[in-house]
């Protein structure tokens, strides 16, 4: 493309409400235009980037075997009444009536629409599994639309929905989607982490989020630097999933373990790589240890509490003075033995139990982050503890946890039968029995990703696009396009790069000076510029790397090879 033919309205003006670099630069570089709160138009460069990201998502989804469909942006309110979400979604769901008084909503997500699509069309287990996806506009009447494309009201999401005959098959597809998502974010050139998450209003049990690491992210993540463990702070502090209580007689079967005293437990655990409370509990339950002690911490807010727990991980509790413990923002407490088999003792602080505080657990010597919501500890019994320890932190190697900020760029859920039951969507299983579908749902914030790329890749001059997301890879800057020899040389390089398959734009504007063109290059953030100017007489050009702003002189004959 030629700059002279493109609509790229760059400006020095920063919108008043734009606090994030992505918001400022995407507006200033002429990618997007705000028309209302949380509503944006995409100008040509913005549309190219959006489509590039969309294409990567589509390719990876197609590779996974999912089918592309398209649901109406408007769905009948009756669907939402059937699922119970007409009210449960709250004011984010924008409802309206047509001239006949029929209720409709602007789709914020499409579980209801997809159940409606497959209901009575897939009737047998033989036609399962199936995964349907779309990349289409969503509307959520967000309470605080802000940060540009990061939290819009109208935005582009890839949403997909899978249907299964069994839970096991749902779990299989969930893993396929996790891998698919990892491929997407890797291809986009993003530094990201997969974390355990809460399911929120969408519902379901297992859920994972894909977090693009950036200081401006709205989410706090608890991450292990040494292994794959990661959780959104809400999930790290969530209530344990309630499971069916274990049979009493099963509990009785647990025999007195080898370790009979807390000292022996401590000795055992010292040699063990797991230090988290959940791991301790797991050891206690499955390896039949005798005593486990839980401690609790209280901080000024959730993050403080979490930090405090982590800080305490370094303390040998036995050796720590109360002052040291307090310095780490800790208020330790033991107390009340709860309903456990005789050979496992757990101490609960009765006073703290009243408050919604974070719980930390440790054996006698190691005090470590555990991440359990204290409210869930009320009436805690053995089965709850099994559920607690089966949470995610067992899956951690025991490394010292870190806290990072992240942008939620995707979220995958194991929904189970929540929607199929509510909407009476069933199939016949291999025994001829009617069953509700097991469902999964999977979202990627396509337009949010446009902003996320820039949050992770920018400097004080502007955007720095990654290879897969850049609107053009190379910007051939003709220093003075009024000089025929410069324009001709530029055009030759431009054509050669295009022929070599490199997405290229040529800044052939006659009315703009070199400095202005360079400023646009830096603000827009194409990965490379080829400057055709002074060096032309010597048969060479300058190649500028946007990331490092380093310049190299390259002979004209070499420039295509240099850039491919």
Contact residues for ligand ATP, defined by CB under 6 A: 109, 140, 142, 151-152, 155, 157, 200, 202, 408-411, 443, 445, 447-448
Least spacing, CB of residue 155 vs ligand ATP, in Å: 4
362 exposure class (CB count in 10 Å sphere: 0-12, 13-18, 19+): buried
Nearer to Mg ion, 408 or 455 (CB): 408
- Closer residue to ligand ATP, CB minimum distance, 209 or 542: 209
CB 273 within 8 A of CB 381: no
Smallest separation, CB 308 to Mg ion (Å) = 25
User: Among residues 214 and 346, whose Cβ is nearest to Mg ion?
Assistant: 214
**477-491: b (≥16 Cβ within 10 Å) or e:** bbbbbebeebbebbb
CA dihedral 105, 157, 454, 214 (to 10 degrees): 90
Beta carbon nearer to ligand ATP, 122 or 184:
184
- Read off the tokens for 284: 């206690």
In angstroms, give the least distance from the CB of 444 to Mg ion.
11
d(CA 541, CA 539): 7
**Residue 448 near Mg ion by CB under 5 A:** no
Judged by beta carbon, residue 80 or residue 274, the one nearer ligand ATP is: 80
**HSE-CB of 204 using CA atoms within 13 angstroms:** 27
Which parts of 152-283 are beta strand (E)?
154-164, 192-196, 207-213, 219-223, 230-232
Q: Provide the minimum distance between the beta carbon of 200 and Mg ion in the complex, in angstroms, as a whole number.
A: 6
Point out which span in 116-124, 387-395, 401-409, 449-457 binds Mg ion (CB under 5 A): 401-409
Of 125, 107, 136, 220, nearest to 168 by C-alpha is 125
Residue 61 binding: pick among ligand ATP, Mg ion, none (C-beta 5-8 Å cut-off by kind): none
Token code pair at residue 204? 């379901």
Near Mg ion by CB under 5 A: residue from 23, 58, 151, 411:
411
445, interface contact from ligand ATP, Mg ion, none, CB < 5-8 Å by kind:
ligand ATP
Least Cβ distance, residue 266 to ligand ATP (angstroms): 41
Closest CA to 524 of 14, 11, 42, 1: 11
Q: How far apart are CA 179 and CA 63, in angstroms?
A: 11
Least distance from C-beta 445 to ligand ATP, angstroms? 2
Residue (of 450, 507, 497) closest to 476 by Cα position = 507
With CB atoms as reference, the residue minimizing the distance to ligand ATP is: 445
Sheet holding 474-478, edge to edge: 504-507, 474-478, 528-532, 540-545, 551-555
Nearest CB to ligand ATP, comparing residues 158 and 458: 158
Tally of CA atoms within 13 A in the half-sphere of 351 that contains its CB: 8
Question: Quick one: what does residue 410 bind among ligand ATP, Mg ion, none, with the CB cut-off 5 to 8 Å set by partner type?
Answer: ligand ATP
Rounded to a whole number of angstroms, the minimum distance from the CB of residue 151 to Mg ion is 8
* CB of 135 or CB of 352, closer to ligand ATP: 135
Decide which of ligand ATP, Mg ion, none touches 155; Cβ closer than 5 to 8 Å per partner kind: ligand ATP
CA 158 to the chain's CA centroid: 13
Rounded to an integer, what distance in angstroms lies between the CA atom of residue 541 and that of residue 538?
9
Residue 408 Cβ, how far from Mg ion at the closest point, in Å? 5
Which CB sits closer to ligand ATP, 138 or 164? 138
Binding site for Mg ion (CB under 5 A): 408, 411
């Amino acid at each position: 493309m030629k700059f002279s033919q493109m609509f790229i309205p760059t400006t020095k003006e920063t919108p008043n409400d734009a606090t994030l670099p992505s918001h400022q630069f995407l507006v200033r570089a002429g990618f997007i235009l705000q028309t209302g709160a949380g509503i944006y138009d995409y100008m040509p460069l913005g549309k190219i980037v959006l489509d590039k990201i969309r294409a990567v998502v589509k390719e990876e989804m197609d590779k996974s075997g999912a089918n592309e469909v398209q649901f109406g942006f408007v769905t009948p309110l009756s669907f939402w009444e059937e699922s119970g979400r007409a009210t449960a979604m709250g004011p984010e769901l924008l409802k309206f009536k047509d001239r006949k008084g029929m209720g409709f909503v602007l789709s914020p997500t499409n579980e209801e629409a997809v159940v409606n699509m497959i209901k009575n069309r897939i009737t047998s287990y033989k036609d399962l599994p199936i995964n349907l996806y779309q990349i289409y506009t969503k509307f959520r009447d967000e309470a605080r639309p802000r940060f540009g494309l990061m939290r819009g009201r109208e935005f582009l999401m890839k949403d997909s929905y899978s249907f299964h005959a069994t839970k096991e098959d749902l779990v299989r597809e969930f893993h396929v989607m996790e891998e698919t998502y990892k491929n997407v974010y890797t291809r986009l050139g993003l530094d990201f982490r997969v974390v355990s998450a809460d399911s929120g209003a969408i519902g379901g049990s297992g859920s994972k989020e894909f977090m693009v690491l950036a200081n401006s992210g709205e989410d706090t993540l608890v991450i292990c630097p040494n292994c794959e463990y990661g959780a959104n702070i809400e999930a790290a502090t969530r209530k344990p999933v309630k499971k069916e209580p274990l049979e009493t007689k099963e509990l009785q079967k647990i025999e007195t373990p080898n370790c009979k005293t807390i000292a022996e437990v401590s000795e055992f655990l010292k040699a063990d790589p797991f230090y988290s409370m959940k791991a301790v509990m797991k050891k206690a339950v499955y390896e039949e240890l005798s005593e486990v002690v839980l401690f609790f911490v209280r901080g000024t807010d959730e993050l403080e509490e979490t930090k405090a727990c982590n800080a305490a991980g370094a303390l040998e509790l036995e050796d720590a003075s109360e002052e040291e413990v307090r310095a780490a923002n800790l208020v330790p407490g033991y107390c009340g033995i709860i309903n456990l088999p005789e050979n496992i003792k757990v101490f609960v602080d009765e006073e703290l139990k009243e408050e919604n505080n974070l719980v930390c657990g440790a054996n006698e010597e190691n005090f470590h982050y555990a991440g359990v919501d204290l409210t869930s500890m009320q009436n805690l019994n053995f089965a709850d503890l099994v559920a607690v320890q089966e949470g995610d932190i067992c899956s951690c190697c025991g490394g010292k946890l870190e806290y990072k900020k992240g942008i939620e760029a995707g979220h995958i859920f194991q929904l189970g039968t929540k929607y199929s039951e509510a909407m009476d969507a069933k199939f016949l299983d291999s025994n001829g029995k009617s069953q509700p579908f097991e469902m999964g749902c999977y979202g990627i914030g396509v337009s949010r990703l446009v902003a996320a790329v820039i949050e992770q890749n920018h400097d004080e001059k502007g955007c720095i696009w990654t290879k897969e997301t850049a609107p053009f890879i190379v910007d051939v800057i003709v220093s003075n396009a009024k000089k025929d020899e410069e324009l001709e040389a530029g055009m030759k390089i431009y054509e050669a790069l295009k022929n070599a398959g490199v997405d290229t734009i040529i800044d052939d504007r006659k009315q703009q000076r070199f400095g202005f063109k360079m400023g646009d290059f830096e603000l827009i953030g194409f990965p490379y510029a080829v400057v055709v100017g002074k060096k032309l007489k010597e048969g060479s050009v300058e190649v500028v790397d946007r990331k490092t702003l380093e310049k190299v002189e390259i002979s004209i004959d070499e420039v295509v090879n240099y850039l491919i």
